[in-house]
Amino acid sequence: MKEHLKEDLEEQSLIIRKYQQYLKLEKGLSPNTYEAYMSDLQKLLNYLRDSGVGIKDVKLKHLEQFASGLHDIGIHPRSQARILSGVKSFFHFLVVTDVLEADPSELLEGPKIGLHLPEVLTLDEIDQLIGAIDLSTYEGQRNRAILETLYSCGLRVSELCNLKLSGLYLDEGFIRVEGKGSKQRLVPISERAIKEINLWLHDRLRWRYRPGYEDYVFLARWGNAISRIMVFRMIKNLQEAIGLQKNISPHTFRHSFATHLLEGGANLRAIQAMLGHESIATTEIYTHIDRSLLRAEIIEHHPRNIKYREKNT
């Protein structure tokens, strides 16, 4: 019995190693996304081990019980959905590689998630945040260039941290960024952001950098690439300085960028390309923001509503 269990564990380890290679080589996931996939898969493997169920013996009922367990311990619906998406990816891989004949996760349903409209900054709020940066400090111009680039190009914070000097085509008005799955795209950059980056590049000549970080645009004081945590903290400090009562992060600048583009009449497909979204469905959340603004405009300015307000005041 113990020998049979040992064989099962060895086979499972081999399957997991092959799946890891698949995620890294074929799906080309970023290190952070890869770690998230494996962490979520480990939750399922722990559940199956405790339930005495082997990978090849998994049925839909086991996955539904696993999903119910996620709900019962209070995991947020969005996190549940992410975990179950990873589970589906794993079983899809098992079918593709002929480990399983049928996919037990095919009919697995995720949690119901209501529409969440991301926080959006006004142009005035963005200007206030950037204006609160003390340019007399060592990092002042760098921080100014960071915020202007985040907003001007709608970058993910990881894309900003990994931005390379070799990816700057400022004379042409573009930068090259590496998005999810190591996919590269060219993004237009505004004149104001170009100006701030050029001022930072002049300051950067005085900064020391560690070997291997020569090509990174935004450096930390100790000479390596700036981290996501550093950008997050910098934004939080600026938010506190101006007394902004919104829940913001580096990603808020990306949301604001997309929303302002849509409000200005930009095509949704163009926004999709700028943001590096594979699916137009990911970008379509911004249409909900636009519709909510449109409704507010109608409520405020439609003659029937004006007449109703006058009648009831």
Q: Considering the domain delimited by 123-297, tell me its CATH architecture.
A: Orthogonal Bundle (1.10)
User: What is each CA distance from 73 to 45, 69, 70, 98, 258, in whole angstroms?
Assistant: 17, 6, 6, 34, 35
Q: What is the pLDDT of residue 40?
A: 87
Task: Cite the residue boundaries of each domain of the chain with CATH code 1.10.150.
Answer: 2-96
Q: Is 269 a catalytic residue?
A: no
Q: What is the pLDDT of residue 281?
A: 62
* 174-178 and 168-169 beta bridge pairing: antiparallel
Annotated catalytic residue, options 43, 176, 185, 277: 277
Stretch (H or E) spanning 176: strand 174-178
Q: Is 288 a catalytic residue?
A: no
Locate 229 and state its tokens: 């945590």
Annotated catalytic residue, options 142, 156, 255, 260: 156
Residue tagged 């996760």 (tokens): 105
Q: How wide is the angle at C-alpha 292 spanned by C-alphas 290 and 296, nearest 5°?
A: 115
Task: Cite the residue boundaries of each domain of the chain with CATH code 1.10.443.10.
Answer: 123-297
pLDDT tens-digit profile of 44-84? 998 888 888 888 899 999 998 888 888 767 677 888 888 89
- Give the up-direction half-sphere exposure of residue 186: CA atoms within 13 A in the CB hemisphere: 8
Q: Is 308 a catalytic residue?
A: no
Q: What is the pLDDT of residue 182?
A: 73
pTM for the full predicted model: 0.59
pLDDT tens-digit profile of 134-154? 999 999 999 999 999 999 888
Top CATH class of 2-96 equals mainly alpha
Annotated catalytic residue, options 62, 180, 185, 195: 180
Q: What are phi and psi of 188, to 5 degrees?
A: -65, 150
Annotated catalytic residue, options 142, 144, 254, 260: 254
Q: Is 180 a catalytic residue?
A: yes
- Give the up-direction half-sphere exposure of residue 141: CA atoms within 13 A in the CB hemisphere: 17
Q: What is the pLDDT of residue 300?
A: 54
The mean pLDDT values, 10 residues at a time, for the chain of 313 residues are 53 88 84 87 88 89 87 76 90 91 87 68 94 95 96 90 95 87 84 95 93 95 92 94 91 87 75 72 60 50 48 59
Q: What is the pLDDT of residue 161?
A: 93
Q: Is 260 a catalytic residue?
A: no
Q: Is 277 a catalytic residue?
A: yes
